[in-house]
Chains A and B, each alone.
Chain A
Amino acid sequence: MPTNKRLLLTKKDHWVRPYFAKYKKLLGLVLFLGVLTFFCGSSLMFTSGYLISKSATHPINILLVYIPIVLTRAFGIGRPASRYVERLASHNWVLKMTSDIRLKLYRSVESRAMNAKAEFRSGDILGILAEDIEHIQNLYLRTIFPTIISWLLYIIIVVLFGLFSIPFALMMLLLMGILVFLLPGLSILVNQGKNYRRKEKRHVLYTNLTDSVLGVGDWQYSGRYQEFITTYNTAEAEVRKIDQEMNRYKRKQDLAIQFVFGLIVVALLIWTGHYFYGSKTGLNWIAAFTLAFFPLMDAFAPIAEGVAEVPLYEDSVQRLHRLPKPEKESAAKPIQLKGTGIQFDDVSFQFTEKSKSILHHFNLEIQAGETLAVLGKSGTGKTTLSKLLRGDLEPNSGRITLGAVPISELRTEIFTQIGVLNQSPHLFNTSILNNVRLGNLNASDEEVAEAIKQVGLDQLVASLPQGLNTVVEEGGKRFSGGEQQRIALARILLQNVPVVIIDEPTIGLDPITEKELLQTVFHVLQEKTVLWITHHLLGIEHADRVIFLENGQIEMAGSPQTLRAENQRFQQLYSLDSAE
């Protein structure tokens, strides 16, 4: 999975890097304010040190120390003010970038290229991707900004000392170089491997615990609890071992950083002592220079640790990087359909060359207005059939047409022709009204209410205090499974398409709810061409024709009545599925 080549912040990285350029001005402001904050803090101590040294010479006139007095106040206010604005600006910048990345991620997942990649369909991956974006936010706020600010300060300090004394400037170049380059670099070298290993071990711990918590009943019954505890403890001990090493390193690193700070203060004291020796006015600067360094420690201390975290973000960027780039799609030309009949003509399909063939020289015609039920064991390609029809998958050979027009030519306009009611229609966390209206954004409130009535939800909606404005909650969980399906059905009614695919919408419903739902579905879809994928025979009488898929072919076909009368296999299944 993760390649060894680093991607983050390199030229190929098109997820994090481009945003530096995009909001240049704001970024400049953030960095400027960051530097300004430390500059003010340092200057406050500088002017204060000078102020009291100068005052200690008992100047005759207070006006002589007037400028340092004013400056002290200015810096005293300047530091918190610039820090406040800097924090606002940096958050603003990061959140702007977040909006862009979200859009980009959305586009990428939405793109047609995505269709083929089933791996991204699962909700988990999507959650992880969304989290990755949050990780990138942290990368900016906790690592990138502070590091750049410390570099800028480093340059400024060295240049400033260069104005006084080149040798001392070089000395500071070296000493502070330890802080901004040597220790962070070392930290990356030492911790990179550990970081990865830690992540890996933690992952083991995660799967371990997930297994234990989700499978708690199985552990409890099987009497294998002790065994679990043992493996779990080993996994935990391994994580701890790495943690311990990393913590130990961090403590030593902190000590080293502080040691360098101490050295710098001593160096400043010695240098200023030499430099200003013998100059009456110059002596006042000793306290100023020495004290000015203390506030800067805050800028340099966290760098080494922050930088060591960078490899941790690598995963997130890699994951985002693997997403396909959105393709440019040409708008489909308006196409005149000749009727709404569907034709599968010698269609063959398999997912990859090696996998088993799903459809094999498959032929099927569905008349306009017909309701066709597709039965077959799981894995026989019932759902594949519907995906081919919608153009989400393309056949290896053969032709699929709707109203005599090949599906592939309909491209993005397919939704004007085919609606889908599947096992888990997604209900968005908004009102019923908004959810139903997704079928047709131009529908009036009355039209939505009419659709709700048709699917038999009018009484339920009327009983809700907020009626159509009731929020369905995450994943629609405010409503039962059958009700959710009805909302989705109302949406399809508004979509007003001639063809509807129904893909096992009744899994998990009790037989009565299932029965009633199917009755409603087929009642409201009477006029339409319906492809109904089902895994059992309840309600099969609604179909005009039934086909059984097996080994990529139609195994048997006929009206439910004929099959019931003549086909032994059908009879067997039918009696199996009935309650008596």
Chain B
Amino acid sequence: MMDKNLFRMEKIKPVLIGLAGLAVLQAFLIIGQAYFLSKGITNLWQGQRVSAQGKEIFFFFLCFFLRQVAQFFREQQLDKFAYQQSQILRKQLVDKIFSLGPNFVQKEGTGNMVTMAIEGVSQVENYLTLILPKITNMMIIPWLVAAFLFTQDILSGVIVLLVFPVIIIFMVILGYAARAKADRQYEGFQKLSNHFIDALRGLETLKLLGLSKKYEKNVYNVSEEYRKATMSTLKIAILSTFALDFFTTLSVAVVALFLGLKLIEGQLALLPALIVLVLTPDFFLPLRDFSSDYHATLNGGNTMKEIYRILDQEPFKATQNLTLNEKWDETETLSFEKLNVKYAKEDERMTLSDITFAWQGFGKIGIVGLSGSGKSTLVKVLGGFLEPDGSEQIKVNGQVIPHLQQEKWQKQLFYIPQDPYIFHDTIRNNICFYVPDASPESVEQAISQAGLVELIEELPQGLATMIGEGGQTLSGGQMQRVALARAFLDQERKILLFDEPTAHLDIETEAELKATMLPLLENHLVFFATHRLHWMKEMDYILVMQNGKIVEQGTYEQVSKQQGYYAKFVAETKAGGELNANQ
């Protein structure tokens, strides 16, 4: 019943104690309310005038209202507590995401992380306000009420106490049955409910195939199938609520019946009988509350588990801080010695293995290979998003470090992925992200270097146009150029990582950009992973990758003359396709 994760919250114990105190108070008020109401009714029944019932009515109303006031107070405090906790949780989560970095985010699904930090934490907040009083009420109120019932009529007390476990058993049995059925159908469900989005997303393709009209029927039929499947699960799923309802109302009916019989035989007076009748539904109320909002509770609990799973992710290995100059210069060295990397901890195979490579000072290093050969992974290790398997394979200036998530290292590097992220902000602020206080002239220059002048002229508000989510949409190539402009603007950072920065560009635009880019890459340490082989001519050193290994390395001349994998690779892209001018 009690979610273990709840105890990981700070200050949970005093809160539970406070709630328990309030539950005791509420139980007494419930009893008081029932007593005074029954007393009033009995007095009237005995022929007294209404005007003589002032005291009973007043105390009934007082108890009734105070009970609500107690609830008011409880929710006020819980609201505050739940908010504080959710704030802490959200902060921890965001911190964790930041410390684990982009590779983790990508693996978990980006949308997923955002939803978890906002909706998920809100769900937990809601869960806390729901579950805590449910638990304390359930543990206290029914038993105090039952104890009082025994003082009024033992038989009724026995009846409700017997029904209580019966309800629990039925709910558990039916709950399990429903869950088993739901589990079996869940996969199918998922498929059916995703089908609609799938159909909408594929609409363009369907149109191209001339099937979009015919598919209408399919959309409707699948939705109807979904309805039927849902209904058949629901029939069982809500049986547990039915059982709860059935036994509680039935036990009220049974209690009323026995009370009636006892009254006829004169074994009981009207007052205790009425009190019992009024109190019986209140005995079951905490149980009904407990099972209501079932989904909110279930989701809240699961989300909380999920959030803690992420908070429990192992951080990067603790390490001595890397000592490094402000700016990478000619004298500094970086080396990998038999580096092994797993993309995810649970993977069996190494994504990168036996990576050995050393470099001193500035230089342009190209990385080539087929898709899946490990180029991006290597760039991620260089960027410090990914931790190698061992801990003594990386050396910077001779200092051994387990990974490159080092402040001094990351502060001077720049990473441009294939799909750079565009912030929801003006295009100007996007370009100036790394240098917020850049002068207008330098921004202008970066824009022209990145070939964005024409685009910005066409935008409705020029540099002040909002881009990113919900703003002006940019094409893949335009986004890549915005990212390049960011890099051009920041000439202070000496280490540049590129992961297919030109994949979305047409050859002419790429050629123009290449001309402006090359001079800017001088006096930098550049790692450049790409499928566009013409860049290799410009590189000082080339790493050729295959199946997670560096199979060849050397200067352009060396690798192309080697008649090895690179030469074969280049030949492959041409095989049978050499365009001869004199054909």
Contact = CB atoms under 8 A, between A and B. Distances in A.
A98 to B, nearest CB: 6
Given A130-B200, A378-B506, A287 B249 contact: no
A262 B227 contact: no
Interface stretch (B201-209, B335-343, B519-527): B201-209
B531 interface: yes
A52 B60 contact: no
Given A52-B260, A221-B413, A510-B371, A274 B50 contact: yes
Q: What is the predominant secondary structure among interface residues of chain B facing chain A?
A: helix
Contacts of B473: 122
A-B CB proximity, top 6 nearest: A415-B210, A76-B253, A80-B245, A273-B50, A579-B533, A48-B256
Contacts of A95: 226-227, 230-231
Nearest to A212: B94
Interface stretch (B72-80, B139-147, B353-361): B72-80
Given A52-B274, A561-B581, A573-B511, A259 B68 contact: yes
12 contacts: A44-B253, A52-B256, A126-B200, A210-B114, A211-B468, A212-B97, A213-B114, A215-B421, A215-B423, A218-B423, A221-B411, A515-B573
B440 interface: no
B424 A210 contact: yes
A126 B583 contact: no
B231 to A, nearest CB: 6
B531 A265 contact: no
A84 interface: yes
Nearest to A295: B281
A449 interface: no
Interface stretch (A57-65, A169-177, A342-350): A57-65
Interface in B70-108: 71-72, 75-76, 79, 83, 87, 90, 94, 97-98, 101-102, 105
Contacts of A574: 579
B283 interface: no
A513 B370 contact: yes
A521 interface: no
Nearest to B506: A535
A579 B278 contact: no
A56, A80, A538, A572 — which one has the most chain B CB atoms within 10 A of its CB? A56
A495 B260 contact: no
Given A84-B238, A254-B68, A48 B252 contact: yes
Given A109-B200, A110-B203, A251-B72, A76 B411 contact: no
B383 interface: yes
A579 B534 contact: yes
A198 to B, nearest CB: 11
A35 to B, nearest CB: 16
Contacts of B69: 255
A538 to B, nearest CB: 7
B224 interface: yes
A283 B371 contact: no
Contacts of A10: none
Contacts of B573: 511-512, 514-515, 538, 579
Contacts of B203: 106, 109-110
Interface string B11-25: 000000000000000
Given A214-B110, A415-B208, A573 B508 contact: yes
A413 B213 CA distance: 12
Nearest to B493: A221
Given A379-B475, A577-B507, 8 more contacts: A100-B220, A240-B83, A375-B506, A507-B476, A512-B569, A536-B532, A564-B581, A577-B532
Interface stretch (B39-47, B314-322, B326-334, B395-403): B39-47
B570 interface: yes
Given A209-B118, A258-B65, A290-B41, A508 B219 contact: no
A542 B576 CA distance: 10
B531 A474 contact: no
A88 B75 contact: no
A378 B413 contact: no
Interface centre among B98, B383, B425 (most CB of A within 10 A): B98
A91 interface: yes
Contacts of B252: 44-45, 48, 76
